[in-house]
Chains A and B, each alone.
Chain A
Amino acid sequence: MAKTKIESDHGLNVRMFLTGLGLVALYAIIVSVMLSLGVSVVFVVVIAGAMIFCQYYFSDKIAMFAMHAHEVTPQQEPRLHQIVDRLCLLANMEKPRVGVSEMDMPNAFATGRNPNHAVICATRGIMQRLNDEELEAVLAHELSHVAHRDVAVMTIASGVGMLAGLVSRIALFGAMFGGGGGRGRGGQNIVLLEMATMLISIIIYFIAFLLTMALSRYRELAADRSGAILIGKPSVLASALVHVTGDIGKIPRTDLRKSEGMNAFFFAPALAPGTAANLFSTHPTLERRLDQLNKLEKELNG
């Protein structure tokens, strides 16, 4: 991050640090709870560690697979490669691999365990919806994620939440089978204690989840900021955001006559659309992002 020309924002750094601190404090609580329970610490740590490591190490493959994306050569996607080339020169970054997902949903993502193994990927939908300048802004945002090593940061952050989840599951198991016999003096007390531990773990898991989401939103804002500074035009990123989120992002490019499963003919909605409100979002609201970009635009012009 130090060698790249993407500037940092102090307020954002402080908030991110505090969020991280909250996560570390939670980690300490979890470990002490676990030790008081007497579970095999080694076992828990090995399992959790292995899972987190896989998630981290294969992040590029997992994300590409989930998004039906494949890597493309400069011959296949000259426009995308040209834009990424230019941006990497601007930011003095190593060029990541470039991928395309054939989905119509407008989206772009960057993944990979470190800048050397990074993949930057755009969906067909976003490439059709945006003009070159807007696409450049979106890719600058994604390159900032690579420069900020966001995959590593978010893996560590979510790892803590996962650990909390593990503890609560072990506690649940213990509560059901462990103290069941009621042998000895404290049989009843142990059951109660384990029930309490379980409840606490669930609350911890929930808080850890909220904190992880908050951290993710800060990382998004940081990437917005860095990306906007890199291209020098926050307003272009703002316009790209308007074009891919909200109502406009939902309007498909797919032809009615080709619509999957002939929905238009046999109409029976499986899920009511738009009912699942995104309470725990990984991204900040559009207003918040536009607000930040607006301020940035003023700063750059002022």
Chain B
Amino acid sequence: MGLRDTLFGRTKQVAPNLDNLFALSAAALTLESELDLVTSGQGGLCFKAGSGESTITTDDDIKQLLDFDETNNKVTLSTDDLGFKWLVVSDPDLEALITRIHAADTSMVEHGLGPRLLCAVFGFVPKSPPGEGPVRLVYLMKQGTFYPFAPTGATQRNNELELRVRSFLSTDLPIEKDLTRWMALWNLPVN
């Protein structure tokens, strides 16, 4: 924010950074070889729906905007208990998953909803269960960085595993350096 914005108490809306999303496909190879983790076949996009923003306020509007294809049942739209909307995409192929999430992002940005985007989440599960439990890679839209989130219970997370994921992926992915930003996402609709 510039001096004038500070003086007048204005907050500029921050545009999302989508460029780094595609780095995930290379990182997935490392995840599989080093930590035995493969895609869970689900990815999600989390955003805050606002009122009065152009005309897109209802679920139907969003569905229309994102070219919803309900016939194959691969995409769902839900609202979580904290009032955030989740667009969950299911596809066993990670590349396709990333492409679809990116397409949804882009289309939201085109309709002026970019500042409303919070994060994208990609699920990873052990290739040979139970393993060490699932890991989600969270992509912070505004920062353009990833961080791992490995929940083990209602409000418990496996920090050791998360730090291990960081050590393996730090060359492949822009990992969020500030650990205090590795916020939890309890009760995710993305597996």
Contacts and interface: CB of A to CB of B under 8 A. Distances in A.
- Whether chain B is bound by chain A comes out as yes
Interface of A: 128-129, 243, 247-248, 250-259, 263-268, 273-274
A247 B163 contact: yes
Interface string B71-82: 000000000101
11 contacts: A128-B155, A250-B179, A251-B182, A255-B184, A255-B186, A256-B119, A257-B46, A264-B140, A265-B48, A265-B116, A266-B13
Task: State the majority secondary structure of interface residues on A.
Answer: loop
A257 B159 contact: no
A248 B159 contact: yes
Contacts, number: 70
Interface size class of B (residues with CB under 8 A): 20 to 34
Nearest to B156: A128
Nearest to B17: A267
B118 A273 contact: no
Most chain B CB within a 10 A radius of its CB, from A129, A248, A253, A265: A265
Given A256-B118, A264-B118, A273 B185 contact: no
B162 interface: yes
Contact of A250 (B142, B157, B180): B180
A259 B84 CA distance: 13
B7 interface: no
B189 interface: no
B138 A256 contact: yes
B183 interface: yes
Contacts of A274: 178
A251 B138 contact: no
Contacts of A247: 159, 163, 179
Interface of B: 1, 11, 13-14, 46, 48, 80, 82, 84, 115-116, 118-119, 138, 140, 142-143, 155-157, 159-160, 162-163, 178-186
A28 to B, nearest CB: 45
Contact of B119 (A129, A264, A268): A264
Contacts of B115: 265
Given A128-B156, A251-B179, A267 B184 contact: no
B183 A256 contact: yes
B180 A273 contact: yes
B13 to A, nearest CB: 8
Contact of B14 (A250, A252, A259, A266): A266
Nearest to B143: A267
Contact of B157 (A253, A263, A273): A253
A275 B157 CA distance: 27
Given A256-B184, A263-B181, 6 more contacts: A254-B184, A256-B119, A257-B185, A259-B183, A266-B11, A267-B142
Contacts of B180: 250-252, 273
Contact of A265 (B80, B118, B159): B118
Nearest to B14: A267
Contacts of B138: 256
